[in-house]
Structure 1
């Protein structure tokens, strides 16, 4: 009872009212502060917008002080970028595949005696040209010739006996059996004579074909046994070169294709050969196909066993369009090139763009291209670029799409990778597994 009455005392009531007022004032303050913060955020956002900045500029009397470029009356054009350029050019190029091989003689043999005997005479010199049938070595044949003379005498007697019996049979003096016996004796004697002649011939060693004799180690008086090595003969008028290529190139290979050969002994020359045979069997181990080419060698400049670097021509184009490899840009469709032409059409009237003032503005054009053969420092373009087109070789980080403005700095030919000089064979920048390469057609080939 006393507590309830205490709550309604005047002093307590006044304190309670004052507390309510303070609480209400604090709530209003919080609401006001929150509203002020929200208004400030909105004002800051509005001033960031183009129309807000424009209104602010008008209100303050400052013209274009903070207005973005998008609302400026005229946008300032970027200065033309300076890029390095050169012209596309045409040249004859050859697509070839590389291999290695060894020279082989068209015919070769090692002479060996078919019978034992002592060397009676030598009829050749080391390294000498010999002709087919030429006597090269004579073994002692005195005994065999004596036997041949004996058989010749017996043969003459057998022939005379047979002729007499033929006359006697006709006159009826001897029987037919006697004639037949004399005929058989004649045949036996003829066979013995052929055998004796063969024994004599086996002691004469002759050249089986036109060739060049090697270095022998036989002297007069040496005793040779059957099968001993006498000398090697090499037919060098025509040489063969055997080499292998990957099976993936089988569809491009055919007899009659031209092969260029290089040898360390003749470093400045290339020799022409012709494919004469392609092995029908693919090597299962190396997945390669064997080829044989032939080349004339009447002057005997080349020798069997020489190591040869082989270049087989697969295709050749006389008017290939080439650009420096720096001009090639990667593209979603494969590759692209930046081509440049004068911004003002009237600037082309002079014809020679290199004579235009240095401040002439050019327009860029990104052109999708199809690439062909690769050479050292150069790439063949099959489509998209033509002979004489101005292409960019440096500055693609500034000019890489169509419609951009550029000024040109012409690259001198001396600053580019030179095309292959006559007689040179240069490897491709990105050689494939089969050893293919492209080269400029300038080298002469020795027939």
Structure 2
């Protein structure tokens, strides 16, 4: 019985070993016959160096060189409107005439009274010379004349206030005032703006305030004219830091001959600071940002199983710096001349074979402009 049992166990072991060996041969055959991973299509670019001018960026608001809402000092009925909406006017041009008939009549009466007082004074001075009147009478006549002339001046000022003039040269806005309308003191009649030159007000964080100085060059870009940057200079720096935001307010002055910039517009401000620096730059699409660090895929030469030359990739950690437009500066991890994948990274890992197709490239412009589609 013991001998038969041993023979039976030996047969079972041999059978199991045969089955296992056959299964192993079958797996190896499947692996050998399975298709190999195909090369992945990507876009690439050569790592290059570029000079960047250090800049401070901010968003500002366009304000008029001079701007005011023209109002009336006194109440009155609008008789004439001497301008058209949007018209350019000079300093002192008549804008609106209020009804001043009664005021002019009162002025004429006061002028007549002043003339009479002057005549009385002249006659009494002649009488004083022959001792016909006392000195007190002449003094009273002089005081009366001064009083009447003062009343004339007061009434003249009142009449002048009935004619509203441009306080400075500029461009008028749109008005809703019509002839025959009654206006009260302080009512807005029309806006007047001087927009050449023009100001742009913006803020810079206090930690960057040491980089600011008057007459620094800057550029303004408005979305109304994205392809036409406006050049200007720093005109003034506020000596007080805003306690709530810890920002410093800065004012820039720009030429606006074509009057393209209008008060109230917002503008992107780029302020040049310091000397130009040289950076290794890449399109931002080339960077894969991960919790454990930023990486890129570097292209290198290799050979497949048949010895044919092919390209493959190797993942490399990099340190990124400042960004500008579509580009990002690389401060560590790459060298000029290396080839880097710029799109298609999601399907890559170390030693993945690739095929380069640069017929359509991702954006790589350091100074892009908005495009309408």
CA RMSD for the aligned pairs?
A: 4.1
Q: Does 1:175 align with 2:137?
A: no
Q: 1:255 aligns with which of 189, 210, 214?
A: 214
Q: CA deviation at 1:260?
A: 1.4
Of 183-192 and 292-301, the range deviating more from structure 2: 292-301
Q: CA deviation at 1:253?
A: 1.2
4+ residue runs over 4 A deviation? 85-90, 323-327, 369-378, 389-394, 411-419, 421-425
CA distance in 2, matches of 1:301, 1:323: 35
- Report if the CA contact (8 A) 2:90-2:169 is conserved: yes
Q: 1:240 aligns with which of 195, 199, 202?
A: 199
Q: 1:185 aligns with which of 134, 144, 154?
A: 144
CA shift digits 1:201-222 (9 cap, x unpaired): 1111111111211111111111
Q: 2:70 aligns with which of 102, 111, 134?
A: 111
Q: Does 1:271 align with 2:216?
A: no
Q: CA deviation at 1:147?
A: 0.8
Q: Does 1:141 align with 2:86?
A: no
TM-score under structure 1 normalisation?
Answer: 0.57
Equivalent residue number for residue 34 of structure 1:
none
Residues 1:275 and 1:98: Cα distance change in structure 2 (over 3 Å): same
Give the 3-state SS of the residue equivalent to 2:240 in structure 1. coil
Q: CA deviation at 1:150?
A: 1.0
Equivalent residue number for residue 420 of structure 1:
365
Q: CA deviation at 1:373?
A: 5.0
Unpaired runs of 5+ in structure 1? 1-84, 328-337, 339-358, 360-368, 399-410, 426-447
Give the 3-state SS of the residue equivalent to 1:315 in structure 2. coil
Residues 1:323 and 1:310: Cα distance change in structure 2 (over 3 Å): closer
CA distance in 1, matches of 2:50, 2:331: 11
TM-score under structure 2 normalisation?
Answer: 0.67
Give the 3-state SS of the residue equivalent to 1:266 in structure 2. coil
Equivalent residue number for residue 379 of structure 1:
329
**Structure ID, larger Rg:** 1
- Report if the CA contact (8 A) 1:87-1:323 is conserved: no
- Report if the CA contact (8 A) 1:260-1:273 is conserved: yes
Q: Does 1:220 align with 2:179?
A: yes
Equivalent residue number for residue 302 of structure 1:
261
Q: Does 1:286 align with 2:245?
A: yes
Give the 3-state SS of the residue equivalent to 1:153 in structure 2. helix
Q: CA deviation at 1:261?
A: 1.3
Give the 3-state SS of the residue equivalent to 1:234 in structure 2. strand
Matched length? 301
